[in-house]
Amino acid sequence: MLIVPVLLSGGIGSRLWPLSRAATPKQLRSVLGRHTMVQATALRVAEMDGVTDPIVVCGASHGDPIRTQLGEIGVTPATVICEPVGRNTAAAVLLAALAAPDDAMLLVLPADHVVTDVAGFRDAVALAANPVSAGALVTFGVVPTGPETGFGYIRASDVEAVVRPVEAFVEKPDLATAESYVASGRYLWNSGMFAFRADAVRAEIERLAPEVYAAVSASVEGGLDGEEVRPGPAFLECPSISFDHAVMEHTDRAVVIPLDVGWSDVGSWATLWEIDDKDGDGNVVRGDAVLIGSTNSYVRTDGRLVALIGLDDVVVVDTGDAVLVAARDRVQDVKAVVERLAGRPELD
């Protein structure tokens, strides 16, 4: 069975402002290593047996930069599908499924996640082949490293199996609930990564989300050939709904494969501080900086000098045209900054 990677690159990553912008979202940026996130995602699967060129689903203006970035690492997308507007992941998954052969295994990967154990990731993907062949919709569930309240959770019914039937998808919990989830050993984080046959997922979307199916199908009735596809106006009629809400929470074909591979969705600057390398004072420093009497902080600068004096637990990000200075436990409010910048397209 051929594996077709599907790189979902539709988000704008406003929680990583000012690095991530509408024009250049975080998946087009490097946050940890030298590769951009979309490059790292493509490389994560590029050398696996049976893997074809990827299908990319992205925003209207990101086709060219993504093709350029993938070209730099020797990857040529089979198709780049440029959505005229974002309509969430159900639509994006269906676009990819319509572009793929019936019997291909789609491996759906958000292009803005980090995985540090690539070999472990590939092992988990290999485990998906059997259930996918049997028609299952596979979701990858991250083994929790703590009681995160920012993720949805997946409850599995057989915690010993490598491929586990899904009992339920549950919404983001409060802290006490998250702690009970982690203690139980039955819950995994909902990562947004999936595997299924193209024909199987098409059929489930048609059955469970017919409005999504109708709008997306109509938007590409001219075909999905060529290096770049632009869905037509019918796409705007598609409801904006996540693939989890539209399909995974309702299908009886859901199974989950645990992932314990150093995964992160890099959801905030605090997350990035957590996963990056620190010096003896707990500081992450990327770029030209002088730190005096400062601890447990994240400093990132593109070229210009940053001096940090006498502060603990802060985030400083300098991108040349803007500077973020935030308490590390308040970085979720970066979204409020982006909202205030809505009238200033060069900065949002």
Residues 185-204 that bind a second copy (CB under 8 A): none
**CA gap 335, 11 in Å, rounded:** 14
> Taking Cα atoms as reference points, which of 317, 268, 328 lies closest to residue 295?
328
Q: Is 119 in the site for a second copy (CB under 8 A)?
A: no
Residue 17 or 194: the one with the smaller Cβ distance to a second copy is 17
Residues 272-301 that bind a second copy (CB under 8 A): 290, 292-293, 301
Q: What is the dihedral of CA 92, 93, 95, 96, to 10 degrees?
A: 120
**CA gap 119, 45 in Å, rounded:** 10
Q: Is 278 helix (H, G, I), strand (E, B) or coil?
A: coil
Residues 4-63 that bind a second copy (CB under 8 A): 17-18
Q: Is 347 in the site for a second copy (CB under 8 A)?
A: yes
Strand partners, 114: 264
Residue 183 or 336: the one with the smaller Cβ distance to a second copy is 336
Residue 114 or 291: the one with the smaller Cβ distance to a second copy is 291
Contact pick of 7, 200, 201, 341 for a second copy (by CB under 8 A): 341
Q: Which amino acid is at 93?
A: V
> Taking Cα atoms as reference points, which of 63, 60, 81, 59 lies closest to residue 4?
81
Q: Is 265 in the site for a second copy (CB under 8 A)?
A: no
**CA gap 88, 273 in Å, rounded:** 28
Contact pick of 72, 333, 342, 345 for a second copy (by CB under 8 A): 333
Contact between 172 and 149 under an 8 Å Cβ cutoff? The reply is: yes
Q: Is 340 in the site for a second copy (CB under 8 A)?
A: yes
User: CB 324 → a second copy: shortest distance, Å?
Assistant: 5
Q: Is 198 helix (H, G, I), strand (E, B) or coil?
A: helix
User: CB 286 → a second copy: shortest distance, Å?
Assistant: 14
Residue corresponding to tokens 């900054």: 337
Contact pick of 1, 60, 236, 327 for a second copy (by CB under 8 A): 327
Q: Is 329 in the site for a second copy (CB under 8 A)?
A: yes
Residue 2 or 305: the one with the smaller Cβ distance to a second copy is 305
DSSP character at residue 52: -
Contact pick of 140, 212, 318, 342 for a second copy (by CB under 8 A): 318
Q: Is 264 in the site for a second copy (CB under 8 A)?
A: no
344 Cβ contact list (under 8 Å, min separation 6)? none
Q: Is 45 helix (H, G, I), strand (E, B) or coil?
A: helix
Site residues (vs a second copy, CB under 8 A): 17-18, 290, 292-293, 301, 304-311, 314, 316, 318, 320-327, 329-331, 333-334, 336-337, 340-341, 347
